[in-house]
Structure 1
Amino acid sequence: MGMIRINNLRFHTFNGVLPEERRNGQQLAMDIAIKYPIEAKVQHDDVHETINYAEVRAVADEFVNNHSYKLIESLANNLLQTLLTAFPTVELINLKIRKYSVPMPGIFDDVEIEVEGAPDAK
């Protein structure tokens, strides 16, 4: 089974629990992995036989820029459902969202949330 991966998409968002996060915003990054039967479906070098990466990015961009959540877990769950609805021919989508400016003590790179799901019709 083939995998299509879009790695490290970056967004400036206004998600977070604290008022400063929602007012000033912060950078989020995401990886979208799509399980899709490339070997069987892509036979004619035609973009219509596969998942269009630009369309996936556009759906993610529209969603992230028009929704705000206190929790990135909520962002991840709702974006996953939006992607599954927009691309019903996929087998599975794995979504990772990283938040870099997390207001907690300690030295770390980021906090990452990972969700995964398949379309209901499968």
Structure 2
Amino acid sequence: MGMIRINNLRFHTFNGVLPEERRNGQQLALDIAIKYPIETRVTHDDVHETINYAEVRNVTEQFITTHSYQLIESLANHLLETLLAAFPTVESINIKVRKYSVPMPGIFDNVEIEVEGAPDAN
């Protein structure tokens, strides 16, 4: 099974529990992995046979820049639903969201959450 990966997409967002996070915002980074049968569906060198990753990025940016959540878990779940609805021919989508400016003590690079889902079989 083929995999299309868009790594380290970055957006300035206004998500977070604390008022300062929602007021000042912070950078989030996303990795999006799309399982898609490239081997059997892409046979004519035609963008219409694959998942257009520029469109995946556009849908992601539109969602990220127009929604705000306290939890990046909520953001990831709702973005996953949005992408699955926008690209119903995929086998599954995996999203990792990294938040760098997390207001907690300690030395660390970031906090990362991961969600995965498949389109409804209806």
Matched residue count: 122
The TM-score with structure 2 as length reference comes to: 0.99
Partner of residue 99, structure 1: 99
Partner of residue 71, structure 1: 71
Equivalent residues in 2 for 1:1-122 (5 A)?
A: 1-121=1-121
- Residue aligned with 2:76, SS: helix
AA matched with 1:83: L
The TM-score with structure 1 as length reference comes to: 0.99
Structure 1 residue 121, shift from structure 2 partner:
2.1
Q: Spell out, residue by residue over 1:56-113, the C-alpha distance to the aligned partner (whole angstroms, 9 max, x if none).
A: 0000000000000000000000000000000000000000000000000000000001
Alignment gaps of 5+ in structure 1: none
The 4+ residue runs of structure 1 with deviation greater than 6 A are: none
Percent of aligned positions that are identical: 84
